[in-house]
Structure 1
Amino acid sequence: MSFRIDPRLPLTGEVRRILADEIGRALGHLETARDKPEQGLHKCRKRLKSIRALLRLVRSGDEPFCQTENECYKQVSALLSGPREATALIETIDRLADAFPEQTAGGGLDPVRDRLLLRQHELHAGPGLDAAINAAVTACQEGLERIDKLALPDQPEQAADILAEGARATLRRAKKALDKAGSRGEADDFHDLRKAAKTHSMHLSLLGRLWPTPIKARRKAVDKLGELLGELHDVFVMRALLDADGEPLGPPEDTKLLRKLLKRSEKSLGKACLADAADLFGDSPRRSAKKLARKARDDLAGQREDAAAAVG
């Protein structure tokens, strides 16, 4: 089924349909994760992000339901974050090796990579992963049973306002995070920007028939920004591990090169992320949301009038 709201149909039914589809896919990925954790966990967490993005989009239409369900899937995602992060850190080492081939040709990152592989194996082979997957499966199954409790206004004007408000709230989050990342440059600021960009990308998919700008180009640019911010996030996580007690990545002589390359990577990625985010989120969220609301009202009303005429 399509991850896109059909403006010809009542909003409540469309959101219920998409929620059921995404939760069902998440459950499938959780089963895959029992045998292939690297693959299944990543795909499952992507579905959970899609679910939470949808809930944020329509939150103003049924705040108690959306807030409760969003918190539920946030906790499910947290259950799976450790094992997924272990894989992401290995991918970070490989990206650094590709980005700086001359500096890493002698295998200077190999000791750290070996430790990360061992860490990944321990997380994936231990009983903790099965327990996390079982808890996630239970939470998702219970979430499926609660979908029918969602009730949104289905009148075209009210539905349009709900969608516009949800999109605007995410654009506001992105603009606020961009301003903080530009002025402070803290890891949390870039992480907030990444989450807002990912949510906005999913909103573009959900609102593909209603968004008032050339959507393909914007979606491509947002996804590119999301990838860059994801790489930067992994750099921040790796640097935090370097500074953690107990030297989990190894003694200083094994991590000296890694520390140097992470610093260089952080600088270049941060600069690129700020430039791309300014192009995407520098405009007024209020202005963008007004355009969306106006177009959504016209499209929702027009398409339902056409459908009624066809029936008549």
Structure 2
Amino acid sequence: MNRTNLVLHARTSIERGSKSFARASKLFSRQTRERAWLLYSWCRACDDLADGQDHGQEMSRVQNPEKVIAAMRMMTARAHGGEKTGNPPFDAFGVVAQECDIPISLANDMIDGFSLDAKGWRPETENDLLQYCYHVAGTVGCMMAVVMGISARNQEVLDRACDLGLAFQLANIARDVTEDAEAGRCYLPKTWLAEMRIDPDNIMAPERREALVLLIDRLCDLAGDYEASARVGASNLPFRSRWAVLAAAGIYGDIARAIKKSDGASLEQRIYTSKSKKLGWILKAFGQAIFNLARRDRQGLWTRKRA
């Protein structure tokens, strides 16, 4: 495929895989929007390969996951080096990586997260959880910052971009506790579970439901902390990119807020945000982007290991 067709393929992917991100991406300038779609296409494809999904739908068992991860890493390296792989999402990554000089280390860090899942890894501590969130989502925030014009050497701004990825992933984990448990996964740190006397091999036990809800609330509060930090980083972006990032932060942040407000209902039903609330955040983020007043230090927040 040529670049035009790769962009069209990527646009279809984001519209299927994430209506929230697709809506927010329309706020970017055309060039940034296309590059965001190209990057998303690769991220979505890697995630689907790792989880046996199609655009984030129901998970299925992956045969030989280590082999899948190795193939993913190989195709990513080839695409990053400018080779054609014949696989549209990977070729899309090659295009955007070449155009924006995305470091291969960030791509490999993301794939490392899928490797953890393939090994049946579970976090022992909160820091372990945040390190995992960095791999599967914080890296995407960093790469998106580069796509939006931030130098890969500007580590302070990339830390803020990483924070947005952490916020998104923490909200995802809070929303998907039941689905993950059914798939034999749990991302709640073992130290947290021990504090609440929850059996790590049976977190859905009815008699510990209230304790589990408290841990889900804790995830949501963490997501809010990292969302707030990420908003400060948005101040370094061009206006349209700043608007898009603030809109996405608000839209996705509402998922964490709705989960906490549901008081455990998220364990029985998937939490969504309505179209009207998404539109409301697009309008609200416009004003936030104009005034650009967000200020907050990162004291006390986990920080990724910089390359």
Q: Which has the higher helix share?
A: 1
Normalising by the residue count of structure 1, what TM-score does the alignment of the two structures yield?
0.31
The structure with more radius of gyration: 1
Normalising by the residue count of structure 2, what TM-score does the alignment of the two structures yield?
0.31
